[in-house]
Amino acid sequence: MMSRHSHYPKDAPAAKHDLLYPSWLAHLVTHNNHDGNHHNGHTTAAATNDAITTIEDLCQSLLQSSDPSKHHQHQHRHEKLATVYTYRDAPTRPKPLSRAPRIWNVCPSRLFFAATAHSSSHSSSSLLQTCRMAVKCPSAILRSNSNSDDDKSRRDATNSRSFSSFVRYLKRSRLVAVVACDSVGRIGFLVPPGDDDGGNGTTRDDDDENNYAAYFHYAPL
């Protein structure tokens, strides 16, 4: 079998964040991972009235995410997904990324790539920029903790599994996570590795390190 490119960061993390997501999405991810079903980007319609199906829907959702009055509505109640790390490619101006970025919604991958087709993170004039986001790989947890049964190892493993489950859910369902506007007016999109070029939504086994990382595309609103 041909080896595939690893998207997992090899350099040291620069910052730590508590990544939040809506309670309805947490329920959906748990249900999806238990029964193995996926719906190719149509899962949001059953879970929220804010289903994103067009570029206009996406723009409207991003605008709503910048309105503090929307944050306390039932469909936007958030809980912690995982503690994640960012690296030296993360933004620092006008401020670093939020210590608690909030996933606001999800949209079909095809819609995200259609909306951003003319933006390249490799261009100095690009609207969208890209940085990496990851959690600890299980192999790294074992290396850093000699006793795999200690509390820290268990917490780290649970945290990593939570993020990996979410990444695999996005891959299987061909979705991109829409990240709410932050305090400096910056929006974002969390894209599974391998899907950052409009991939086919396939996923590899649970131990694949690519399931423990994602790309964060960001821009001013």
d(CA 158, CA 144): 15
Task: Specify the residue for token string 């503690």.
Answer: 83
Share of the chain above pLDDT 70, in %: 74
d(CA 13, CA 80): 20
Is 188 a residue whose pLDDT tops 90? Answer: yes
173 contacts: CB under 8 Å, gap ≥ 6: 32, 38, 39, 40, 41, 43, 106, 201
Which of 64, 100, 82, 85 has the alpha carbon at shortest distance from 26?
82
pLDDT at 35: 59
pLDDT, mean of residues 88-115:
94
Q: Per-residue pLDDT tens for 132-168?
A: 999 999 877 777 665 556 888 889 999 999 999 999 9
Is 180 a residue whose pLDDT tops 90? Answer: yes
Q: Per-residue pLDDT tens for 10-37?
A: 999 999 999 999 999 999 998 877 655 5
d(CA 20, CA 212): 16
Binned at pLDDT 50, 70 and 90, residue 2 comes out as: very low
Average pLDDT value over all residues in the chain: 82
Note if the pTM is more than 0.85: no
Is 221 a residue whose pLDDT tops 50? Answer: yes
